[in-house]
């Protein structure tokens, strides 16, 4: 079945450092790919998405490119801030024939940014 694998955390960075969180997926169809973020004490929020190969999703300085050839959707940010400290989840959904569009999540990566 479809699955998502993301790098284990925690990831600890200093403010203004470059961030990469790796995510790879397996899917039989043509899924949409997502990054969700969970800030401390808050619910899951959509950070960015990409719906087809070579699309780049971006939001709040974060970017991720849908790479079909490497089945990857790595999250990057050029300069992290303390306020980016959160748990990040990579996910996919497949709206193909017979599919409900349910999300399949990776296990999450905790990011800690120190001042």
Partner 1 sequence: GAGVSQSPRYKVAKRGQDVALRCDPISGHVSLFWYQQALGQGPEFLTYFQNEAQLDKSGLPSDRFFAERPEGSVSTLKIQRTQQEDSAVYLCASSLAGADEQFFGPGTRLTVL
* CB-CB contact of 76 with 19 (8 Å): yes
State the nearest-atom distance from the C-beta of 84 to partner 1, in Å: 19
**Residue whose CB is less far from partner 1, 84 or 93:** 93
> In terms of CB distance, is 4 or 86 closer to partner 1?
4
3-state DSSP call for residue 97? coil
- Contact predicate 21/89, CB 8 Å: no
The residue among 114, 25, 20, 15 whose CA lies nearest residue 67 is: 25
**CB 64 → partner 1: shortest distance, Å?**
15
Whether 40 contacts 48, CB under 8 Å: no
Of 6 and 19, nearer to partner 1 (C-beta) is: 6
- Supply the minimum distance, in Å, between the C-beta of residue 102 and partner 1: 4
- Please give the residue ranges that form the binding site for partner 1 (CB under 8 A): 4, 32, 34, 36, 42-46, 49, 51, 89, 91, 93, 95, 100-108
């Amino acid at each position: 079945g479809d699955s998502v694998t993301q790098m284990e955390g925690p990831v600890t960075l200093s403010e203004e450092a470059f961030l990469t969180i790796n995510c790879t997926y397996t899917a039989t169809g043509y899924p949409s790919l997502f990054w969700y973020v969970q800030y401390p004490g808050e619910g899951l929020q959509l950070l960015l998405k990409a719906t087809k190969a070579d699309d780049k999703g971006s939001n709040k300085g974060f970017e991720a490119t849908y790479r079909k050839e490497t089945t990857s959707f790595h999250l990057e940010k050029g300069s992290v801030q303390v306020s980016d400290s959160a748990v990040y989840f990579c996910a996919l959904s497949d709206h193909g024939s017979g599919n409900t569009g349910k999300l399949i999540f990776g296990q999450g990566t905790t990011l800690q940014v120190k001042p």
